[in-house]
Amino acid sequence: MDNALSKYTVDIVFVIDATGSMGDLIDEVKQMAVGFDTNLANGLRAEKKGVESLRARVVTFRDIFEEGNDAIRWSQFFNLPEQSGEFAEYVDAVEAMGGGDEPESALDALWVAIRSPWRKTRFKSRQIIVLFTDASSHPASGKSPRNFQDGVPFAASIHDVQSGWGTAARPGSMDDRAKRLLVFAPDVDPWTEIDKWDNVTRFASEAGKGCTEIHMKEIIALLVGTV
């Protein structure tokens, strides 16, 4: 029966504000990570879609001006379901802490996600970034964390980040047909500006409330609609 499904190669990056206010959301993500591939596949199957292969990675951020290089951390891509245990273990180790007063370093983290080692494939593909925050963002810092892709220069402005995201006329680091960005963030800069980018969907979160209104079952449903 699955042979009749329209199948996709899917890469997903979860970009998560890991500051102190985000504990409830991070607990939701930890629960989501267990069986994520199965739940996504079941949702897609209901829409007559399937997964040829699935990978997921995680980028977390706090405040690079408070914590330096340790403010932004990222995992490898995990092949799912083969590495579902390692994926869940990585997510389970994420703690909500620090960050100080907002803004945080979300634009730097988004840059890391955009520059992910996305797959090029002959199958239908999706390159999806899902970002969660309850805060505004510092301008892109231009500060490269240690070991980031062999010293690739970091974005120094939101325009650099947008260039990495790309447009139909000027593709960036991602496949313009495959890229999707789901943003859960307050109605503040830079999110109101990023709303205007191609292939971006934003859902307004309440500032300073830790994205408590977000539930992972809803995120799975949104991802299904995005593929």
157-215 confidence digits (pLDDT tens): 999 999 999 987 888 989 999 999 999 999 998 999 999 999 999 988 776 565 666 77
Q: What is the mean pLDDT of residues 132-158?
A: 79
Q: Which helix (H) or strand (E) holds 17?
A: strand 6-17
Pairing of strands 6-17, 124-132: parallel
Per 3-state DSSP, the chain is made up of helix, strand and coil in percentages (nearest 5) of 35, 25, 40
Q: How many Cα atoms sit within 13 Å of 85 on the Cβ side?
A: 1
CB 61 within 8 Å of CB 15: yes
Say what the pLDDT of residue 157 is.
92
* 35 Ramachandran zone, left/alpha/beta (phi>0; psi -120 to 50): left
- The pTM score is 0.92
Angle in degrees, CA 105, 75, 211, rounded to 5:
50
Percent of the chain with pLDDT over 90: 47
**110 exposed, middle or buried (CB, 10 Å; 0-12, 13-18, 19+)?**
buried
Give the model confidence (pLDDT) of 55-89 as tens digits.
999 999 999 888 887 888 999 999 999 999 999 99
The single-letter DSSP state of residue 104 is B
Q: Where are the domains of the chain?
A: 17-101+112-181+197-207
In this predicted model, which residue has the larger pLDDT, 145 or 34? 34
Residue 13 pLDDT exceeds 70:
yes
In this predicted model, which residue has the larger pLDDT, 143 or 171? 171
Say what the pLDDT of residue 1 is.
44
Question: Tokens 């730097």 appear where?
Answer: 108
Query: Cα–Cα distance between 170 and 180 in angstroms, integer?
Result: 16
CB 41 within 8 Å of CB 51: yes
